[in-house]
Every structure is written in C-alpha cells, then in structure tokens.
Amino acid sequence: MADKWDERKKALEDEYFVKKERELIAKLKAKKDEEAGQAVKEICHMRCPKCGERLKERSFQKILIDQCTGCRGIWLDAGELEQVAGREEGSWINRLWQRVEKQG
Ligand SMILES: [Zn+2]
C-alpha cells in the first residue's frame, strides 16, 4: 500500500514540475528576451530549491548572484558560472566548469 502511495505521490510531483516547465516555456515564447529573464526569475529564483527560504540578490566579483537567506546556498543564473570562472583563469571553479562541459 505504502509503495503504491509513494508512486502516486511521485507521479503527482512529476506532473507539477512538467506543468511548471510548460508554463515557463510558454512565457519564454510569448515574451521578449529581456522579459523572459524576469519570468525565469519569478518561477525559479524566488525561493531556494533546497530549503524553501527566500533568495536575495547580492554581487560577487561584480556579478549578480542569488543567495539563500536560509541555508546561505548560492544560485547562479545561466552564464553566471562561466562569468565567475572566466574571472579566475586556472581557479578551482574554472577547472570544475571544464569538467562539467566535457561530461555534457
Ligand atoms: Zn536555502
């Protein structure tokens, strides 16, 4: 019984995220590029995916990043990791990024 319920719950969660993703894609298509960035922010970046606390914008090496007010986790928008990595040639984050790119 418990397994069945877990399966159903998982299916509902998947449904929810698929729906959210579709809404996001619809927004991205409907809006101009500069507005699309804001739509992504509204859906993905208002709350921390890990602990659910609010994210606060702060600057790190002159790049705007989102930091969680709860767990202090840092979230990077698309391109921001490359920007951070690009600042420090040979840094650990640069080496990490090169590894991620190879895997992808
Ligand atoms: Zn958090």
Q: Identify the pLDDT of residue 26.
A: 79
Ligand 1 center to 4 CA (angstroms): 31
Q: Identify the pLDDT of residue 73.
A: 92
Ligand 1 center to 76 CA (angstroms): 13
Q: Identify the pLDDT of residue 64.
A: 83
Percent with pLDDT over 70 in the chain: 79
Tokens representing residue 93 in the block: 């984050």
Q: What angle separates helix 33-44 from helix 2-30, to the nearest 10 degrees?
A: 160
0.85 surpassed by pTM: no
Ligand 1 center to 45 CA (angstroms): 11
pLDDT single digits (tens) 10-61: 888 888 888 888 888 777 777 666 676 776 666 655 688 889 888 888 887 7
Give burial (CB, 10 Å; 0-12/13-18/19+) of 66. Answer: buried
Distance CA 95, CA 20 (A): 33
Tokens 């951070």 -> residue: 84
Ligand 1 center to 44 CA (angstroms): 13
Q: Where are the domains of the chain?
A: 1-44, 48-104
